[in-house]
Structure 1
Amino acid sequence: MSFRIPAGRALLRTAVALSTAAGALAASAGAASARSELHLPGGGDVVSGTLQGLDSSVGPVKRLQLYPLAKTTVDPLTNTVGTQIADFKPITTRPLTRPLSDGDSLSELPLVGPLTKILPGG
């Protein structure tokens, strides 16, 4: 046996309609307040954010040891080759390979190191 109450159904429909309308009003009010608080970055914000990002990404690369076999017993760059012609000063490969075999980073290399000071990062 079922009881049908027409007034109850109408009341239910009215409640659903009111709650839907209230939800729509609340959503539109929230969107309007979010739009009024929207902050677009200026030119200074963009530049400072970019430089900060570059500092944290380029800095570690400048301090990274370039040669993974440096300071190990299997480092082939520690083997130097040298020669002397007549009375001239002897020539060896050690000055060329020393920075890498000593474990220097990009910022510590003889010719490239000073150029890396132009790049951002510590």
Structure 2
Amino acid sequence: MAQHAHPKPHRISRTLLRTALAVSAAGAALAGGGAATASAAEPALAATPDRGDATASAVTGILEKSVSGAPGAVKGLQLNPLAKTPVDPLANEVRVPVADFKPVSTKTVTGRLSQGAALKDMPVTGEATRVLPG
């Protein structure tokens, strides 16, 4: 059989497969170790109900404080990741003349987005985001 007829192994595919298998095996080992640790810690928490209540309230407090800052951060995020770049598709403007009226333009809809506006800077949603904390 000719040399070109033999299938050539793909080194990248093998390397990628081996890496994926190693990562998944490591993840399974970590998950198994975490489950063993959690099952070993359960009897200690069950023996002292006061400690379990304190742990639950501490976790609840941590979650409340971490989530309370999220809306403020979301309100200030730039909506269009390509804003103020040469490849921004929203920076184009199309004007259509309609009879004797002023031309209708797409700039009124996409203008703020192409300038890098956040959610709080938009006309309708900006008013709605004022009720969010942050």
Q: TM-score range by the shorter chain?
A: 0.5 to 0.7
Task: Look up the equivalent residue of 2:100 and give its one-letter code.
Answer: D
Give how far 1:99 is off: 1.3
Paired position in structure 1 for 2:70 = 57
Gaps of 5+ in 2: 1-47, 55-60
CA distance in 2, matches of 1:73, 1:106: 22
> Which structure's CA Rg is the greater one?
1
From 104, 113, 118, the counterpart of 2:126: 113
Paired position in structure 2 for 1:67 = 80
Give how far 1:50 is off: 6.8
Task: Look up the equivalent residue of 2:69 and give its one-letter code.
Answer: S
CA RMSD of aligned residues (A): 2.9
Relative contact order, CA 8 A, sep 6+: which one is greater? 1
Identity fraction in percent: 43
Structure 1 outlier segments of 4+, above 2 Å: 48-55
Paired position in structure 1 for 2:105 = 92
Report matched runs for 1:1-122 at 5 Å. Answer: 52-120=65-133, 122=134
CA distance in 1, matches of 2:89, 2:100: 29
CA distance in 1, matches of 2:64, 2:87: 40
Task: Look up the equivalent residue of 2:97 and give its one-letter code.
Answer: Q
Question: 75-84 vs 52-61, which deviates more?
Answer: 52-61
- TM-score, normalised via structure 2 length: 0.51
CA distance in 2, matches of 1:49, 1:71: 37
Aligned length: 86
SS class of match (1:58) = helix
For residues 29-69 of structure 1, the C-alpha deviation after alignment (integer angstroms, 9 at most, x for no partner) is xxxxxx7x87x78xxxxxx8776443312211111111110
